[in-house]
Structure 1
């Protein structure tokens, strides 16, 4: 492995750190706000959380395509980060209306969808191929520092000021705005051509004819269908383990802490042993997380096991999939290619959140989680055969 990682990786890591503080403050606050304050049902929560995840889907493709078409990934990413920042000020105006909350969440996630592929393209284009796992690992580790700080800030604000939404979202906006300034000032754009590239939608869709790309897209989508949202993991874990409700906003810290510790070393390991293999191992760890949700009255021991496995799952999958795809997607279609894989994954996870919310409303929590475990095992077997046949 050659040399130091480029400065672009660390600059974008700082942007993601600040933005994730903002985003995770909201993520930690939503279960408390929606389920315990607004008394929304599991079905309503599943729909909103699915929207929160899936609103990024189509816009990932648009953001990736525009980025490649104009050869201006930084500008496209800047627009996405700015859009998400503005929603933090609008959110308190939604009040108790689930429709208004859903609309604001959709706009916030639209910003994430627009910026994700251009950001990942900036990282992959600035990094040598043999360091992609390490680069994405370092970026995700810095991102996860924000994921650690966000829930902690939310917990402190709620402890000091009560459950009012205003203070949480104002502080969240401030961090998001600083992230936009850092992106504008310190991130350098890798531009291979002086003129906008002649990228077409047909060329982007043509990536699906490539066997390796198609395999990655299908596998990511299939496993996304059995990946419930973090919010549901934390809500179910809090209920089955019998820990206090007040601890719920802190549960993301456990996942984030393990992700932070493991992201960089797992990224470097993936560069050596295989990025695809590491991605598959991550979903085996997700299975461990779900099995732990079946342990009744497990207390803080069950919580520790579940959050450790959950954090390792993210370390093995989040940046690793993009590092894997970034190794073979052509540079001129890099953002479009990454966005295509991300879109399938996002749509699948949106579906899983909605379906799991309906399952929780219609059956016991143990039965719903048991069904999830069985389906994940089937998906893992199917993906293993897919990889072997390819």
Structure 2
């Protein structure tokens, strides 16, 4: 059986290779995916409550420049890159992705303690780096567990359900931060304390409820194959048809994906609303992501994941254009939040589903980690570069330059996929 990453057949099975059309089974969601979604929900309440106040905390409360925030946001985007591939590889080699994920979630939990007691640029940068390294450790093994539990015909929808639960937390976290700042002006330390409590809950659920059964599933499926051995990590293990092309496209587009914090600072700079309302911008984006995640995943499974992935970056381009308008009012602000939510819904889980289709089961964690590393490094470069561009050229000019470059990169990505239908054997 073969799967195409092209949309020419709508992402459906290649009829010449698979034979007569078959009826897909009804969609059923594994409880493991639900529990992983709950873990992500608790963790995102923790992380996003901090992320929602970090731009103001750094530039307002600590009085640092946008260059300093760009460096911190770049660390936020890219520090996880140093461990993602290794974490995915360890997950593949051991067959125990749960415990690799526990290590990542646990490190992020410990970083929350640092936020409670530390201040200043270097301390915040180090704490953010520790938190993001934890994210880098946990993401690939968690997505490998989701892929193993999902029905192959409904990969994008299963990832969409997980991302929906994840973004309930991502929307709740900034809302909690908003309520705290409304009740306690400059109550940043209280936000950090609440963030730590939710991180502890997430780790507890993962340890106590989520099973570690991926090794048993693989043994049942690959009973005739020799046992997996520890082997040197080689890039040649990832030479699957279409995977390199996908990595290039993801990196090209990622290097022009500036952090959400910069977009929100741009909106706040334009509209001059009170700082207490700032966390609600994060709530709006994550609520939109929550709204779009499952429908977009369903569309990607039915009509093709590549066009949905590219269309998501088209939504990001439209967001840049709206954010760059000199005077647009509340309607444009709401439009930016909806477009950002649509962008994440069309790219985050969809990219993971694409990699899951293209990689063989024994290389899945490594492939997912590699894709996430490409995205993290490219977005790290985008955030750091945009901070300098904002400082030197001003916010309006900076966002206009990035919008033009993203349009060119999106056209290049379309050409990169055009005329090619790489296929890989389905797990």
Could you say which TM-score interval applies, normalised by the shorter chain?
Answer: over 0.9
* 1:20 and 2:35 correspond: no
Give the equivalent residue in structure 2 for 1:162. Answer: 185
Give the equivalent residue in structure 1 for 2:382. Answer: 352
Give the equivalent residue in structure 1 for 2:253. Answer: 223
Cα offset for 1:199? 5.0
Give the equivalent residue in structure 1 for 2:101. Answer: 77
Q: Which residues of 2 match residues 1-390 of structure 1 at below 5 A?
A: 1-3=24-26, 4-95=28-119, 97-189=120-212, 190-191=214-215, 192-193=218-219, 197-198=228-229, 200-203=231-234, 205-388=235-418, 390=420
Cα offset for 1:388? 1.3
Q: Kindly tell me: are residues 41 and 334 of structure 1, through their superposed partners in 2, closer, same or farther at Cα, counting changes over 3 Å?
A: same
TM norm structure 1:
0.96
SS at match of 2:358: coil
Provide the C-alpha distance between the structure 2 equivalents of 1:249 and 1:111, rounded to a whole number of angstroms: 24
Unaligned runs of 5+ in 1: none
Provide the C-alpha distance between the structure 1 equivalents of 2:231 and 2:125, rounded to a whole number of angstroms: 33
Cα offset for 1:211? 3.4
- Total equivalences in the alignment: 388
Q: Deviations over 1:41-81 (max 9, x none)?
A: 01110001101111100211111111111111000001100
Cα offset for 1:162? 2.3
Provide the C-alpha distance between the structure 2 equivalents of 1:368 and 1:238, rounded to a whole number of angstroms: 16
Q: Kindly tell me: are residues 330 and 358 of structure 1, through their superposed partners in 2, closer, same or farther at Cα, counting changes over 3 Å?
A: same
Q: Kindly tell me: are residues 110 and 162 of structure 1, through their superposed partners in 2, closer, same or farther at Cα, counting changes over 3 Å?
A: same
Q: Over the residues paired in the alignment, what is the CA RMSD in angstroms?
A: 1.5
Q: Contact 1:258–1:312 at 8 Å: present in 2 too? A: yes
Q: Deviations over 1:182-229 (max 9, x none)?
A: 1112212322139972253444x1144333000111111110000001
Provide the C-alpha distance between the structure 1 equivalents of 2:384 and 2:408, rounded to a whole number of angstroms: 20
Provide the C-alpha distance between the structure 1 equivalents of 2:419 and 2:381, rounded to a whole number of angstroms: 27
Cα offset for 1:243? 3.1
SS at match of 1:211: coil
Which moves more between the two structures, 269-278 or 153-162? 153-162
Provide the C-alpha distance between the structure 2 equivalents of 1:167 and 1:255, rounded to a whole number of angstroms: 23
Q: Kindly tell me: are residues 141 and 32 of structure 1, through their superposed partners in 2, closer, same or farther at Cα, counting changes over 3 Å?
A: same
Provide the C-alpha distance between the structure 2 equivalents of 1:271 and 1:235, rounded to a whole number of angstroms: 35
Q: Deviations over 1:14-33 (max 9, x none)?
A: 10011100000110010121
TM norm structure 2:
0.88
Provide the C-alpha distance between the structure 2 equivalents of 1:60 and 1:2, rounded to a whole number of angstroms: 33
Provide the C-alpha distance between the structure 1 equivalents of 2:371 and 2:104, rounded to a whole number of angstroms: 19
Cα offset for 1:389? 5.2
Extract structure 1 runs of 4+ deviating beyond 6 A: none
Q: Bigger radius of gyration, 1 or 2?
A: 2
